[in-house]
């Protein structure tokens, strides 16, 4: 299956900084019949702390369960990512594959198995072949250090371009770098994070505080995107802090530089989340939905996602049809507090409905022009409170059907 690069892709891969204490390598395990690297191994220096969020799917992969257990220890020495095979819904054979990988990598690094983090993505229902995983790991152990762009490409499945983002923060007099990569294109309606995302920093951050920071960043980024309303069995986002920058360790928001680091981490997560939407399967338009006037922020987010997940809204935008009645429908079905007679809607800068009725004699020409672009803005004011949230999605085209009808071939 040949997939054309998304028209919403950035012109080039972001310039990501090397992170001291994090060395990525890639190899070919050949989980699928493709001519590319599909196993990523990132060796992490001693003392690396880790935080993570995982899917709320009730059918998680054994890799997700492994990461959940490992996160309770807060320490990491390696990350392994397998692409092309999700190893989900595979019973004891799937668990055996994860244990075999952990055993091999922990032996190679002379560390505890709980310091090994494993993720897999791809086809559900096919056990990960242990022989291919072990051969791929052997190749990765001796491979030259890879660029972040190579690692970002190796973790992808139906992704049409590699995705990365970076930021910098000052902690006292020390400059701390953050670099992240992500994969995701379809099966995106995160209930925690996106499909697979990995962020690395050379900052020294206490594991519990790092978890708090990631939870906050996730709530404003990965949990505010959707492509198709489907949550994966394998969704995982991990943040690794190697401490090699030499800053005074952060343990709470009372520490100098904590707010700056939190803002930088949030920006990296938001940039990565946006890239996932820009690579939505078959996408031709990037859509921002800003909701205000809700009962509270969480209610605003739910209303926004109701609009973003609506096939009727998404296909209307694909067809460049300013059918704001579909937005009224999506607000109404969200199950959140709303008042029909206070609802207002805009496309771009043009108000099309106010206080429950269409704006009299509004000019549809600027709306039509706005919808012909590839960056669409929709504004909703519920008029009942101070809650607000912004979510992001893409349009729904026939390309989504074509990609997923042929996914396993």
CATH number of the CATH domain containing 78 = 3.60.70.12
Phi, psi of 220 (to 5 degrees): -100, 0
> Is residue 255 located within the same domain as residue 351?
no
CA distances from 9 to 279, 284, 331, 374 (A): 7, 10, 30, 11
Instruction: Classify residue 208: in a domain, yes or no.
Output: yes
- CA end-to-end span of the chain, whole Å? 7
18 is in an annotated binding site: no
> Is residue 324 located within the same domain as residue 253?
no
* pLDDT score of 384: 97
> Is residue 176 located within the same domain as residue 294?
no
8-state DSSP, 225: B
Instruction: Classify residue 169: in a domain, yes or no.
Output: yes
Instruction: Classify residue 14: in a domain, yes or no.
Output: no
Q: Domain boundary residue among 258, 278, 298?
A: 278
**How do residues 378-401 score in pLDDT, each as one tens digit?**
999 999 999 999 999 999 887 777
Give the pTM.
0.93
- Does residue 168 carry a pLDDT above 60? yes
309 is in an annotated binding site: no
Mean of pLDDT values over 265-269: 98
What is the distance between the alpha carbons of residues 206 and 214, in angstroms, rounded to a whole number? 12
8-state DSSP, 298: H
**How do residues 191-233 score in pLDDT, each as one tens digit?**
654 579 999 999 999 999 999 999 999 999 999 998 866 666 7
What is the per-residue DSSP string for 190-233? -SSS-SEEEEEE-S-B-HHHHHHHHHHHHHHTGGGB-SSS---S
208 is in an annotated binding site: no
Q: How many structural domains are present in the chain? A: 2
Within 10 Å of residue 73's Cβ, how many Cβ atoms?
Answer: 13
Domain range for 303: 286-405
* pLDDT score of 344: 98
Q: Say if residues 249 and 171 touch (Cβ distance below 8 Å).
A: no
8-state DSSP, 255: S
> Is residue 310 located within the same domain as residue 180?
no
- Does residue 409 carry a pLDDT above 60? no
* pLDDT score of 2: 59
CA 382 to chain CA centroid, nearest Å:
28
What is the distance between the alpha carbons of residues 197 and 184, in angstroms, rounded to a whole number? 9
- Does residue 109 carry a pLDDT above 90? yes
> Is residue 133 located within the same domain as residue 185?
yes
Q: Domain boundary residue among 237, 258, 278?
A: 278
* pLDDT score of 211: 98
Tokens linked to 345: 């809607």
SS3 track for 119-174: EEEEECCCCCCHHHHHHHHHHHHCCCCCCHHHHHHHCCCCCCCCEEEEEEEEECCE
Instruction: Classify residue 229: in a domain, yes or no.
Output: yes
| 194 catalytic residue (yes or no) | yes
Tokens linked to 407: 């996914």
Tokens linked to 36: 């590319």
Name 196's Cβ contacts closer than 8 Å, sequence gap at least 6. 81, 119, 121, 155, 182, 183, 184, 234, 235, 236, 237
Instruction: Classify residue 3: in a domain, yes or no.
Output: no
State the number of CA atoms in the 13 A half-sphere of 160 facing the CB.
Answer: 25
Mean of pLDDT values over 298-323: 94
* pLDDT score of 26: 98
218 is in an annotated binding site: no
Q: Say if residues 225 and 191 touch (Cβ distance below 8 Å).
A: no
Mean of pLDDT values over 322-340: 94
Mean of pLDDT values over 239-249: 97
> Is residue 126 located within the same domain as residue 240?
yes
Number of H helices, E strands in the chain: 11, 15
- pLDDT band for position 276 (cuts 50, 70, 90): very high
Percentage of the chain with pLDDT > 90? 84
Tell me what the pLDDT averaged over the chain comes to. Answer: 93
Least-confidence region, from 39-48, 55-64, 216-225, 343-352: 55-64
> Is residue 270 located within the same domain as residue 176?
yes
409 is in an annotated binding site: yes
> Is residue 358 located within the same domain as residue 215?
no
> Is residue 271 located within the same domain as residue 294?
no
Give the SS3 label for residue 49: strand
Mean of pLDDT values over 76-103: 96
- Does residue 182 carry a pLDDT above 80? yes
Instruction: Classify residue 312: in a domain, yes or no.
Output: yes
Instruction: Classify residue 84: in a domain, yes or no.
Output: yes
- pLDDT band for position 186 (cuts 50, 70, 90): low
Q: Domain boundary residue among 250, 278, 306?
A: 278
CA distances from 31 to 1, 141, 184, 338 (A): 15, 18, 18, 49
Instruction: Classify residue 5: in a domain, yes or no.
Output: no
Which of 194, 201, 226, 242 does the annotation list as catalytic?
194
> Is residue 157 located within the same domain as residue 259?
yes
What is the distance between the alpha carbons of residues 255 and 209, in angstroms, rounded to a whole number? 11
- pLDDT band for position 408 (cuts 50, 70, 90): low
* pLDDT score of 378: 98
229 is in an annotated binding site: no
Q: Write the CATH number for 294.
A: 3.10.20.340
> Is residue 273 located within the same domain as residue 293?
no
Of 171, 181, 182, 180, nearest to 243 by C-alpha is 171
Tokens linked to 288: 């921002």
What is the per-residue DSSP string for 230-254? ---SS-EEEEEE--TT-PPPB-STT
> Is residue 274 located within the same domain as residue 290?
no
């Amino acid at each position: 299956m040949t997939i054309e690069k998304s028209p919403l892709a950035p012109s080039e891969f972001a310039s990501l900084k090397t992170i001291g204490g994090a060395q990525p390598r890639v190899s070919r395990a050949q989980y699928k019949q493709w001519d590319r690297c599909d196993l990523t191994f990132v060796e992490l220096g001693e003392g690396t702390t880790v935080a993570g969020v995982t899917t709320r799917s009730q059918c998680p992969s054994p890799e997700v369960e492994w990461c959940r257990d490992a996160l309770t220890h807060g320490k990491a020495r390696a990350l392994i990512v397998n692409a092309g095979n999700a190893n989900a819904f595979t019973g004891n054979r799937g668990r055996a594959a994860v244990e075999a990988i952990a055993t091999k990598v922990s032996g190679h690094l002379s560390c505890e198995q709980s310091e090994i983090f494993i993720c897999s993505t791809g086809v559900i229902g096919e056990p990960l072949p242990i022989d291919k995983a072990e051969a791929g790991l052997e190749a990765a152990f001796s491979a030259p250090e890879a660029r972040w762009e190579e690692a970002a490409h190796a973790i992808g499945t139906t992704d049409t371009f590699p995705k990365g983002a970076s930021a910098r923060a000052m902690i006292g007099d020390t400059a701390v770098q953050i670099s992240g990569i992500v994969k995701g294109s379809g099966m995106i309606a995160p209930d925690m994070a996106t499909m697979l995302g990995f962020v690395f920093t050379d900052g020294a951050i206490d594991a519990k505080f790092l978890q708090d920071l990631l939870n906050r960043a996730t709530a404003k980024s990965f949990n505010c995107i959707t492509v198709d309303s489907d949550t994966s069995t394998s969704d995982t986002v991990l943040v690794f802090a190697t401490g090699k920058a030499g800053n005074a360790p952060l343990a709470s928001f009372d520490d100098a530089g904590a707010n700056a680091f939190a803002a930088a981490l949030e920006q990296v997560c938001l940039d990565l989340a946006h890239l996932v939407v820009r690579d939505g399967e078959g996408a031709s338009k990037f859509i921002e939905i800003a909701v205000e006037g809700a009962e509270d922020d969480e209610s605003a987010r739910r209303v926004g996602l109701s609009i973003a997940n609506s096939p009727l809204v998404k296909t209307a935008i694909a067809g460049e049809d300013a059918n704001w009645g579909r937005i009224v429908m999506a607000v109404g079905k969200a199950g959140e507090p709303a008042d029909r007679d206070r609802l207002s809607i805009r496309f771009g800068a043009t108000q099309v409905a106010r206080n429950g009725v269409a704006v009299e004699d509004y000019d549809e020409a600027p709306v039509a022009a706005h919808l012909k672009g590839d960056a669409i803005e929709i504004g909703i004011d519920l008029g009942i409170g101070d809650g607000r949230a912004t979510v992001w999605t893409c349009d729904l085209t026939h390309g989504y059907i074509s990609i997923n009808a042929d996914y396993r071939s």
